[in-house]
């Protein structure tokens, strides 16, 4: 087993069509731009890449289509040394996100899940879970597969980090198997059923206390707030 931390990411992988526009369209409106990029993306893939670049041994488990987008979606992960041995090909198209960003940074995003709908928790062997320092999950794949993997990870005493993004309903059955919750301010307020204007530290404490897990709240370019073992910690955002 490697002396470096091992991160097992179970999640989504997409290609992102990113267009920069002067203003976001309203319903029925067409906007023109000559500025676009086709980039690898997906929350799971981004997490696996970030873990690898931070120095961890990173394993990504996902599903792509047998198409050109699948090759593009995995190229950067492979280039940076992420282990892709447990990623499979699906009969569906590779997941795709269409992102429009205006001049002040506001955006519109649509995501076609595609092959991400075919990810299965049994792609992950017990040995792989047991060797991991942490199992990382997010919300862009079927929730029942997240639940099954989280249950197995808890049984094997491997910590589970759950990124509640995008913010949608999460069953308590899954939250009961989470050791670390990572959310932004909007997602934290959503899960706590609290007004967004409420103090974010209070919301983080509320989530940690009611669910018995550690909580990390990101605040965009602002600081990061964490509640770890009932202690409140604040960190500057990475540059």
The domains found in the chain, sorted by start residue, are 6-178 (3.40.1190.20)
| Whole-number pLDDT of residue 222 | 79
pLDDT band at 220 (very low <50, low <70, confident <90, very high): confident
Q: Tell me the pLDDT tens digit for each residue of 122-142.
A: 999 999 999 999 999 999 999
Distance CA 131, CA 30 (A): 50
166 cis-preceded (ω within 30 degrees of 0): yes
> How far apart, in Å, are the Cα atoms of 109 and each of 64, 99, 100, 104, 166?
20, 5, 7, 15, 11
Q: Which two tokens stand for residue 14?
A: 């997409």
CB 216 within 8 A of CB 180: yes
Q: Where are the alpha helices (DSSP H) in the chain?
A: 43-53, 68-79, 126-131, 143-155, 172-175, 185-192, 200-211
CA dihedral 44, 124, 142, 15 (to 10 degrees): 30
How far does Cα 236 stand from its chain's mean position? 21
Grouping H, G, I as helix, E, B as strand and the rest as coil, residue 179 is coil
Q: Tell me the pLDDT tens digit for each residue of 137-189.
A: 999 999 999 999 999 999 999 999 999 988 888 999 999 999 999 999 999 99
């Amino acid at each position: 087993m490697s002396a470096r931390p091992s991160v097992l990411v179970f999640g989504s992988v997409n290609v992102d069509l990113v267009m920069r526009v002067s203003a976001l369209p309203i319903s029925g409106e067409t906007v023109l731009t000559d500025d676009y990029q086709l980039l690898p993306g997906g929350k799971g893939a981004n997490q696996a890449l970030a873990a690898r670049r931070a120095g961890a041994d990173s394993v990504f488990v996902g599903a792509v289509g047998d198409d050109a987008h699948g090759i593009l979606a995995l190229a950067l992960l492979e280039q940076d040394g992420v282990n892709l041995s447990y990623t499979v090909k699906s009969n569906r198209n590779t997941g795709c996100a269409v992102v429009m960003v205006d001049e002040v940074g506001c955006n519109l995003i649509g995501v076609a899940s595609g092959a991400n709908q075919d990810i299965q928790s049994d792609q992950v062997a017990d040995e792989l879970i047991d060797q991991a320092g942490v199992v990382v999950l997010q919300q862009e794949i079927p929730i029942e597969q997240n639940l099954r993997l989280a249950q197995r990870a808890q049984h094997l005493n491997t910590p589970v980090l759950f990124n509640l993004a995008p913010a949608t309903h999460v069953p308590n059955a899954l939250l009961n198997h989470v050791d670390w919750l990572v959310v932004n301010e909007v997602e934290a307020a959503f899960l706590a059923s609290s007004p967004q204007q409420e103090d974010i530290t209070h919301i983080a404490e509320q989530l940690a206390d009611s669910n018995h897990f550690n909580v990390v709240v990101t605040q965009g370019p602002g600081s990061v707030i964490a509640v770890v073992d009932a202690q409140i910690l604040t960190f500057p955002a990475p540059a």
